[in-house]
Structures are given as C-alpha cells and as structure tokens.
Chain A
Amino acid sequence: MPEPRNEKFRVAEYSETLAAILRRADELGVYAIARVQDSQSRSLSLSNGRLETISQAMLAGVGLQVFTQEGFTSFICSDEINPAIGRELVETAASMAHSGSGFATRPSRAVFDLTPDGVATYWSGYKSLDETDYPELVKQMTEANEAARRYGSHLVVRTQLSLTDTHWRIVRSDGTDLSFDQPTSLASHTITAIGSASRLPVNLGATISGADDSILLQPASRNLWELRTRNAAHLATALTDAPLLPASHSNRGYKLILDYALAKGLAHEAFGHASESDVMATSVLGDHGKMRLGEQLGPDTVTITDGSILGDYAYQPISACGKPRQTVNIMEEGRLVAGLADLFSAEKAGLVASGAERVESYRHLPLPRMSNIRITLKDPAPFDRPFEEITPLELQARLIEIGYIKEGEPCLYLAGYNGGQVMPKEGDFVFNCAAIYDLSLAQPKLYQPAIFSGKILSVLQSIQGGLGPLHLDAQGHCGKGGQNVPSSGGSHSFIVIAPNEQIFVGGR
C-alpha cells in the first residue's frame, strides 16, 4: 500500500494494519471500509483566575464496516491497531454481517458501485499541538479570565480552552486511501452574573472558535472574543432583573428578528436535519421516501447551503466513507434542489451522494450530517457596523430606516443562540436564545430568553429579508444519533421572519 505523502500524518504509521485488513477482507469475499483515527487533544480551564486543570487526551483506533456480496453489513472497532488484530476484526465483522441474512435485514450494495477515489492526503496547514506554546496559552487565558471579570462587579467567570488535532485515514476495498487532518480550537467563557435585587444567577457564554491557537494569538480574533465577552457580561448582568416575556408577545402578529447565530440554529435545526438522506422516509422534506426536489418551499430570495470551510470549527474535507465532501445548495431561491446524502441512503432518497458522512470517532457509524450551514438572502440590506457593536436600539433604527418594520410595529429581536432540537419526522423544531428585546417600544425592552418553536415549512416560507454581511462562524455541536460532532454556520448579521401563527415564542 502506498504511503501518504505527507510525513506529518500520524496515521501513516498504520499502513501495515490497513493492508492486512483489506487483504483479509478480500480473502473472505467481503468489502471493507476502514477508518483510522489518531487524535490528540489538550484542554485547560480556569475559574475566577485560578487554574483548575490542564489535561491531555489521546484517542487512536480503527473502525471497520464490512459488506457481504449480498449487502449485509456489520461494524466493529478497536483501539488496538496491529495487523493481527486487524485480521481478527475482519473475521468477526464478516461473521456478524452474515448473521443478518437470516432475518428481514435490508441489504445495501451501494459500496460495490463506488468509484475509487485514489490515494491522496489533505493537509490543512494549521498548527499542530506539538507546535503550540502552552505556557503562553495559559498566560493568555489567565489574562482573558481576568479581563472578563472586570466587565461587571459581581461576575464569576469560568474560562476553558480546547485544542484538538485529529488525523484520519480512510481506506476501502476499491483501493481508495485518503488521509486528512481535522484541527479544532475553542475558547469560551461562561459568565455568571448574580442579580443585585433578585439574587438569581444568569449564565451566558462567549466563545471564539477556529482550527488552532491563532484564535487567541491573532489580535483580530482575540479582539472579537473580547467584544463578545463584554457583550455577554453586560447582557448577563441586565438579564438578572429582566422580566419574563408576556404571553401576549408569544407570537400572533409579532415579526421576529434573529441574529446570525440564531439564523444558523434555524438553518441547522429547522432545515438541515430534515434534508439529510437517512431520514427521508419520514422527513417533512420527503414524499414517499424521496426528497421533494424541485418544490418551491421558501421565498425566491432564500438560498441554504452546506459545505466544509478550511479553518472553520466544522471543517471536514473528506467524508467518513472516504468521499470528498461536496458543498451543496440544498435550497436555491426557495426551491429544494439537493439533500445532504450519504452513499447508503442517497439512491433511496432520490439524491446524489454528496460525501456527507461524518462520525464522532472511529467508534461510531457514519451518518449524513451537516458541516457549515448558512442561509443567504438575495439583496440583503446593507448594515456595515461591526456585528458585535450593534445595539438593539441601532438595530431597531436600521430596521425602520429600510422599511422592514414600522415604528411601534410588534417585533421581537431574539439574540444569541443557546442550542436547539428538531424532530424531522414531524417538522417540529425548537431553539433557545440568550435574550429577547421588544423592538415595538421606542426604547427596546429586554426580556428573559424563551423557547422558539415552530414548523419547518412555515418558518421557511416566512423568511422575509436580511441585513448586513455574511457571518459563518456561529459554532456549535450537533448530537444527531448520539454522536457529538462540531457544527457551524451562519447568515447575514440579521434575518427577518414575518409574523406566522405556526411560529411560537414561549412566554409566561
């Protein structure tokens, strides 16, 4: 087996084992997809200036899917990587795969139609953990923690840094042998403010993400994190005494403004998951198992795209099955044109496989997943102020100026993404924000966050417009199928959702 050409790849060490796996699979007449992961990570955390922990973790192992000629399959994995174990894994996996033939198991022969993807390495070029100066990072994080606490008089700040350097190598029985790295970095504060009157604590986060320690060491990135920290600290303090949203504001005639992080949540939860090929049999974007391609499901100003971006938190150039990941326009000008398809369910869903397979680790089965998903709108209204510096009052003024809202018109601004969830089979989604502002008042009024829920198709049809440039760095994690993988995305600085009875902001 040819060696990957870049010596920096730790997974180059496993050539002998991978060769043994493919040889044994060939002897047993089964098709194999083997993926080796070699991951190193380091993390540190501080609480109120005190260094709590520095830790490192290593993860290395091999995951193996085999397919019998009939298409019956199994999966096996081990953290022991050597040729003898590799052969044992194939034998056990082949035996388990054959066991499905006596039951009503649906075979999958998609792997036998794959075209080889050659031998190649994809090196991101980002700094490895060995090249990282940890004492400097401890110093930077300590300073950041101290600075965050100065944004309020009663703030408690927990600061965490996580750096991960993962190398993958994926081989298939058709001779494909692809290696790539997947570096991620994440720095975050969790800021707790205690109310002076209510004594109720409020937690808010401020994060910055990327691929290596440049998120802390590059001035532009560091300044961005500081701005987010300042905003989170001030907002947390203000929220300690903010009222709950009245029930009368819950929906029914209120226009909604979402910032780009919430718009990413909307794209991810309300739309992206429903476009994944493995759920098409029951998804609201499917009809009798096929994706509803060609249907106009949103305004002709709306395009939704998913694709991996170098340097992004959710970067992944090659799929977990060894196919190059495609950038896919799922919706173009409101029309459904493609899905996020893996090789196993693409055909059944009426889609073309787009290399969407992702896994949390070598111990997991591939599923079609998003990477960086974004909503783009035709002719967004300009709004050139830096996003982190825009106040609710400025946003309100700009919305009135460009005619998206009238003075006194019922309108809620939902700021900051706090996670979400979707049931693609029913089309229900929810997500939560960090704060809500009532923009119908001359001075925008702050309310406690409340759950934002609705129906996928309804909300798509209600996207009315966007303001400002694209921001694609809204970072998160996706937990589909019990597997936690990095996700990201975004939209214009703000998007506008027209009033809709199917969209609900939970209030009191």
Chain B
Amino acid sequence: MLSNKSSSDFLNRQQNRIHAYVDQLLALLVQAERPAERPAERPRAGLPRLKGWRFTLSIGRSLSLSIVDNELGDVYGPPTARDSLGGGIYLIWEDDRRTSTTLDRYTVMNFEQCLKEWRALSFTELYGPDILAPGIYPEVAMLDEAILPLVEGDTTLFYRILSQGQRELQANGALFVDASTNASLTTSYICNSKGLNLSYSSTGFSFSFFADSLYGNGYSKRRLCPEGEVEVVLDDIKTMLPFFKQEGQFVSRADRPALGTASPSDHPAEPPVGDSVLLGSNVAVSFVSTFLLSNLYGSRVVNGQAAFEKGDFLAKKAVIREDISLMLDSLRPYEFSAGRLTGEGVPGGRVALIEKGRLNTPILDLKYANLMGLPPTPAGSVYMEIANQPSPDGAVSHSVPSHMAEAVSQRKSLPELIRQVDHGLLVYVLMGMHTQDGTSGRYSVSAPRSLVIGQGEFKGVVKTTLTGNFFDNLNDPRTTFGWDPREDNPAMLIQCQASTAQ
C-alpha cells in the first residue's frame, strides 16, 4: 500500500547545506583557539582565546497534515512544512570560564559579534566538564529513504491515510475523528575541539487517530510503517470504541466496607490495599516517567531534589521489586530514541538505571558523572524489563533474538491480563499527571474514561480518581505486567484506591 520510492536528492541538498555551515563554523572556532596576534585587525581583540568547545547542529524539514474535529486539512490542520537549522554550543575559555548558548542560521555570518556576546555571558561553572575525546560510536539504523519523497512535499500518502481512517472510523460509529500524520528528515553534526566530527541523517514517520476523544492509537518510528499497519491501528480503535460508549458502574473497594477500607501506604513493607487497576502501557509509562524517571536525573540526585540520594546509587539500594529493571537504551533501530551519541559526545548504548530492583546509575551528563563518580550515560528512552518476561527488542516489526524467543513467548499478553481481572478497571487516559510531585511517589489523578472490567470482560466506562503510591505499587508482589506486541513497555496491573465520581 505504501510508497517505497527512494529519493536522495533532497537528502543530499540538506547534507550539503549543513556541511557548508559546519565547515565555516569549524574554521572560525579553530581561529578563536589561537591568540589574537594583531589586535588592531581582530574584532575579537581583548577576548581570551578558547581552550575547548563542542557543538551540536541540526538541519531539519518536517511535513504534516491533520484532521481536527472531522475537518481534514483545514485551517487548524493544514498541510504544513517546517524548516530549521539550529543547535547548541559550549565553550571553555582560556581562564576556564564557560559559555552555553544556541547556534542559529546567522551565527556564522555574525561570528565575531557572537563571540563577544558569548564571552559576556560566560560564568565560572563549578565542576564544569572537560571536552570529551572522540570514542567509538555504535551504528544504529535511523534513516529510511522511503520517507524522503514525503518530506519533499508529496502529501498524497498523508491524505490517503487520513481519508481512509476518517471514512472507516465514522462508518464504525465515531462522531468526531482527530488524526495527524508527520514525516521528517534531519541531518545532525556533533563536533568538538578534541577531534570529534560526526554527522548522521535520520528520518521520522508517524500517524495517529483518535475517535470521539475517547480512544486512539497510532504509529511512530524512524521508518515508514509496514504494509497493513494503518489497518491494524484502525481495527484496534474500531474494536475498542464501542466499549467506551457504554456507561458502566463500579463499586470501589472503599465503598464496600465488608471488603475493608483502602489504605495506600507510604511504607513499602505494607502493600497497598485497594482496587485492581490495569494501567494501559502508555499510562504505565507516564507513571514510570513521573515517579521513577524524574528521580533518576543526576542533577536532581546530586542536588538533593530526588527521592533517591547519591549514596543510594553507590550502595545499589533496593528500591523496587527485584524482578523489575529499568533500562536506558539508544540502540533500538528506527526508534525515535535511537542515537549514536549524546550532544556531549558520550557514545550511545544500553545501561540499566535500575537493575533487578536496585539503583544502578542516575542519568548522567559529563558534569554530574564527575560529581557522582560514575560513567556518563547514553541518551535514549527507558524501557521496563521484567525478569522472565524480557522487554521486546523493538516493536512488533522487529525480530526477537533467538535466545530471547522462548522467554518472550512466555510473556503474559494484555488480553490475558484483562481476562484475569474479576473486578477492576482498565485506564488508557489520565488527567492531571503533570500536576503530581514525583518525589514522594504519591499520586492523585483523574481517570475520566476508566473501562470497568468484570470477570475479564469490559462493562462500560466510569470516571474515577486514582490514589496511591507508585513506589508501593512497584514493590507490591501482586503487581503484574502484560505486553501488547506493538508497545515497547508493558501494561501494569496494580492495586490502588479507585474512587468513583458519579
């Protein structure tokens, strides 16, 4: 169904433009490393020389088209093209003062003036990192040439996908359809004064549909979707939408005195008591991001603003159940998180932030790696791994390594998890997660469209408020995981207080 046309002219033009810019910038920076010999002729006379620098620079083009409230390509979602060139630069001056600022399309032509302004912005950075020597950077697939014609301006595929989705979803009961498609091409450079000079190009392609603001699904990778993917997404929405259109009833455990009052605990030794709530994988990810990941940034750990302290990592403190690991991975082919290196020049890779329930390392840039006394970490996305249920090495479209095949086949699927719930809820949409304080683990969020599950089947929707402590959930032996083969992270079945608001 999808075009596989290859076009590299546009890519070449983009690459040539950024090559020219980078060449000029490199020459100017090398010149700024030398002392100003003839002050009268040098606009940068009086400035100290640079003793180190690094920069990242990207040139990009993206194209998009949307449906907003059933209107395809109208003024709120028209065919849209965006071009940009920009990046960031970090300078170390001769006197060890530092400057951190942005690069734009005009930096090179105004370089001498910029240099003066950058010096004026410089500051003494305690524990400021040195420039990293070049390393070995892993290869990871990020470019799909089949996307290039879309980026050049051919919107035919966009219109075709969106028209098909709108037609099929409306024929299956959707009153209002919202949808979007996007394709992008980016060429990036990462260079530094110690000889790092690496460039790569990457593409992106995504589409998503949402029906009646109730339920949605989509695709988002660095390569064009495989044949049949649009149909898979639409079939899922068509299957799920009717369940969201039935009013349901749910009696919370808190409202059933005979079963005991819910009592979320702040102490991991006391497992939470409450209702069975199945967090869809996207919702589970938002919990992990808000309450776990936010406490794993090196700057927050070192500065005492996280739930975990520096010593906790050095002591490999157990903080969650021992079968759960949290991995940071930049090497998954064609994922948006894929990257060969960070902007500081740290090679891409895969590292456990939490390994078998124990803190392993925070997410560390060079500065905070020095302060922690640990190696810097790669960029990338986080993935949960459950012992005996390893996370997928990519989405459904990626093959599972043979040594993992048996374990993966033992994973509990999301439908299996749903079938084991006698009385509970399935949550795909949350409101208010961004208002939570992630450090305590405590949550109080609204789930306006919770699907009631009774004896493993959907029984309509209710509005609920979920209350609990996510650290308790991650320590609770009853928490279980279910995998949707199209998702990178598992759905989670937890126990928490679900209060209905009729």
Contact = CB atoms under 8 A, between A and B. Distances in A.
Interface of A: 42, 47-48, 50-61, 65, 72-80, 92-93, 95-97, 99-100, 102-108, 134, 138, 156, 158, 190, 192, 194, 198, 200-203, 244, 247, 250-251, 278-279, 281-282, 344, 363, 365, 367, 418-421, 423, 425-426, 428-432, 448-451, 453-454, 501-502, 504, 506-508
Interface residues of B, number: 71
Contact of A198 (B71, B176, B266, B304): B266
Contacts of A425: 176, 213
B467 interface: yes
Contact of B80 (A53, A74, A448, A504): A74
B104 A156 contact: no
Contact of B448 (A73, A281, A426): A426
Given A95-B153, A344-B75, A244 B264 contact: yes
A369 B104 CA distance: 29
Nearest to B81: A76
Contacts of A103: 72-73, 159, 163
B83 A428 contact: no
Nearest to B441: A200
B102 A56 contact: yes
Contacts of B440: 200-202
Interface in B296-331: 299, 303-307
A449 B443 CA distance: 9
13 contacts: A74-B79, A75-B81, A99-B155, A99-B159, A100-B73, A100-B79, A108-B74, A202-B440, A363-B84, A419-B435, A431-B432, A451-B446, A506-B446
Contacts of A367: 76
B465 A344 contact: no
Given A54-B123, A103-B163, A506-B467, 4 more contacts: A105-B73, A192-B439, A201-B307, A250-B465
Contacts, number: 237
Given A423-B213, A508-B263, A55 B79 contact: no
Contacts of B176: 281-282, 425
Contact of B304 (A55, A156, A506): A156
A370 B365 CA distance: 38
A56 B91 CA distance: 13
A431 B435 contact: yes
Contacts of B159: 99, 102-103
Interface of B: 68-69, 71-76, 78-86, 100-102, 104-106, 117, 120-126, 153, 155, 159, 163, 176, 213, 254, 261-264, 266, 299, 303-307, 431-432, 434-437, 439-442, 444-446, 448, 463, 465-467, 497, 499, 501-502
A428 B81 contact: no
Contact of A508 (B82, B104, B262): B262
Interface centre among B76, B100, B445 (most CB of A within 10 A): B76
A77 B435 CA distance: 33
A428 B431 contact: yes
A77 B448 CA distance: 37
A79 B86 contact: yes
B212 to A, nearest CB: 8
Contacts of A99: 79, 155, 159
B444 A282 contact: no
Contact of A190 (B82, B261, B305): B305
Contacts of B81: 74-77, 92-93, 96
A96 B153 contact: yes
Contacts of B441: 200
Contacts of B83: 76-80
Nearest to B254: A247
B368 to A, nearest CB: 10
A419 B444 CA distance: 13
Given A53-B100, A57-B102, A97-B79, A506 B434 contact: no
Given A198-B266, A506-B465, A105 B74 contact: yes
Nearest to B175: A282
Given A42-B121, A48-B304, A158-B305, A420 B432 contact: yes
Contacts of B442: 244, 448
Given A156-B303, A449-B444, A421 B124 contact: no
Given A79-B86, A426-B213, A244 B299 contact: no
